[in-house]
Structure 1
Amino acid sequence: MLVLLPPSEGKAVGGTGGAVALESLSLPGLTGARAAVLDELVELCAGDEEKAAEVLGLSPGLRGEVAKNAGLRTAPAMPAAELYTGVLYDALGLATLGRAARRRAEESLLVFSGLWGAVRLDDRIPSYRCSMGVRLPGAGGLAAYWRRHMDAVLPEIAGDGLVLDLRSSSYAGAWKPAGELARRTATVRVLQVTEVDGVEKRTVVSHFNKATKGRLVRALLQSTARPKDPAGLARTLRRLGFTVEEQPGVGRLDVLVREIH
């Protein structure tokens, strides 16, 4: 199983390791593309701060991110598992997984990134600010940029198992499974179910969508199940206590929640 995750806007600060070594990161087929984006981002942020903030879509309160990006080549790196924070990653709770579940996480989770393309949990990277929606002057829109490179790398990584795609829309644009792989790809939508005057209403949630997806991935990692397709995933999630409805033909599962927490 390959699980595709978005990054988090919030990232841990600090780190005690050395600077990022691009050649040491997983998915070595992306090394050249990573170097090009890193070089352009550092150059942009080391120049005109106003222009850099505009390109990166930063509010006045986030202008410090420009200087941080300018120092990416020498900034201390840390494992991606420690770098990414936020609702989904808090619910996933990587640090508290047992040994077997953590090993499965390292083998199956892939975090997409506007700067790095995609990384594994044990890849050591510095804190940065560069979303997939950014359009750099040279590389252009990053989703389209990475899509050209991902198409040559990820099908082999995916193998013959299930692909569980939990990315947000901007990150989903960086790679779209095709052909037989698309038929083995499942996406998840989280719906809150409420009842008003005897009428059931379903609402797409945002903040709690991330939390539910984090708990869902954690439950899968702690189980021994190995679903091969969206239907198998739906059966597995039901056994794990989730309320799931399949949307036939589109590979989407709706996870229904009544209590938001």
Structure 2
Amino acid sequence: MRPEYPDPVLVLLPPSETKAAGGDGAPLSLAGLSHPELNETRRALVDALSTVADDVPRSLEVLGLSERQVDEVQRNAELWTSPTAPALERYTGVLYDALDVGSLESAERKQADARLAVASALFGLVRGTDSIPAYRLSGGGSLPELGTLRGVWRPVLEPVLASADDLVVDLRSGAYAALAKVGGAVEVRVLSEDASGKRKVVSHHNKSHKGRLARALACAPDEPASIEDVLDVASEAGLDVEREADRKLCVVVR
């Protein structure tokens, strides 16, 4: 049965290109995912992605992959039949290493499942316990017959995100933020500062510090309800965060 979620802080995470293999869950059931109003679009995308996977050269071209990544195409061919795993365990990489959901205590994991959501090119928005298969699809891409993912998702995903009544903390990367705007969200960026005080965006720091912030927000004993609460949680987690504007924060790595 699909879990019911209250309206806590909603922390939007980017997905990862890499996914953990396997899983011990039953094959994909859209009815078991949160936000069922997205299921019609999800079905269209899963069908399109699995269909194009029947033509491996075409699929590599569509996905922007090399011949060495043909295993990713096979994953897409098996979307309806392969085993599933909870979303927060499916995604891997630097951000998810820093988030480290496997080390959370039971109560913390329950909070993480309620507070964290992943922006997905294939599923739109998935919660921590949503069971999904491994797949390959990037937010900035497009699919035959359907067009750009931005064009597919915006009309259906923006109303879902707009319905979030409480605080939204947006940690998504550019391609996934483009899939749907979130009015009033607290936006977070990460900058590296050198000895001269010059700042620049650095990919690794960006992902690892967003993962640390996501973990801190997930584990906070009290529900973060304002941008001031986010600043407090970040500070307690040892992150150097500055307020750049009314709804914008900057994590500074020195």
SS of the residue corresponding to residue 16 of structure 1 reads coil
Quote the offset at 1:67 in angstroms: 2.1
SS of the residue corresponding to residue 72 of structure 1 reads coil
* Structure 2: runs of 5 or more not aligned: 1-8
Distance 1:33 1:132 in 2: 14
- What's 2:118 paired with? 111
SS of the residue corresponding to residue 20 of structure 2 reads coil
**Residues 1:55 and 1:246: Cα distance change in structure 2 (over 3 Å):** same
Tell whether the 8 Å contact from 2:191 to 2:200 is kept in structure 1 after alignment.
yes
* Structure 1: runs of 5 or more not aligned: none
Distance 2:111 2:145 in 1: 37
Cα shift readout 1:72-106 (whole Å, capped 9, x = no counterpart): 11111111122111100010010111222211111
Tell whether the 8 Å contact from 1:225 to 1:236 is kept in structure 2 after alignment.
no
Quote the offset at 1:223 in angstroms: 2.0
Cα shift readout 1:34-65 (whole Å, capped 9, x = no counterpart): 0111111111111x221111111111211221
- What's 1:191 paired with? 191
- What's 1:57 paired with? 64
The aligned amino acid for 2:85 is M
1:161-176 correspondence to structure 2 within 5 Å: 161-176=166-181
The aligned amino acid for 1:257 is V
Distance 1:116 1:201 in 2: 38
- What's 1:11 paired with? 19
SS of the residue corresponding to residue 198 of structure 2 reads strand
Cα shift readout 1:157-199 (whole Å, capped 9, x = no counterpart): x22x211100110000111113xxx1xx11111122221xxx3
Distance 1:239 1:16 in 2: 36
Cα shift readout 1:120-167 (whole Å, capped 9, x = no counterpart): 1111111011111111122211122111111232222x22x2111001
Residue 207 in structure 1 maps to residue 214 in structure 2: no
1:19-98 correspondence to structure 2 within 5 Å: 19-46=27-54, 48-98=55-105
> How many residues of Structure 1 are paired with residues of Structure 2 in the alignment?
246
Distance 2:199 2:191 in 1: 6
Choose 237-246 or 124-133, whichever is displaced more.
237-246
Please give the TM-score of this superposition, normalised by the length of structure 1.
0.89
Please give the TM-score of this superposition, normalised by the length of structure 2.
0.91
SS of the residue corresponding to residue 63 of structure 1 reads helix
Tell whether the 8 Å contact from 1:231 to 1:246 is kept in structure 2 after alignment.
no
Percent of aligned pairs sharing the same letter: 45
Distance 2:198 2:141 in 1: 36
SS of the residue corresponding to residue 181 of structure 2 reads coil
**Residues 1:153 and 1:83: Cα distance change in structure 2 (over 3 Å):** same
- What's 2:4 paired with? none
Choose 123-132 or 237-246, whichever is displaced more.
237-246
Which structure has the greater CA radius of gyration? 1
Choose 21-30 or 217-226, whichever is displaced more.
217-226
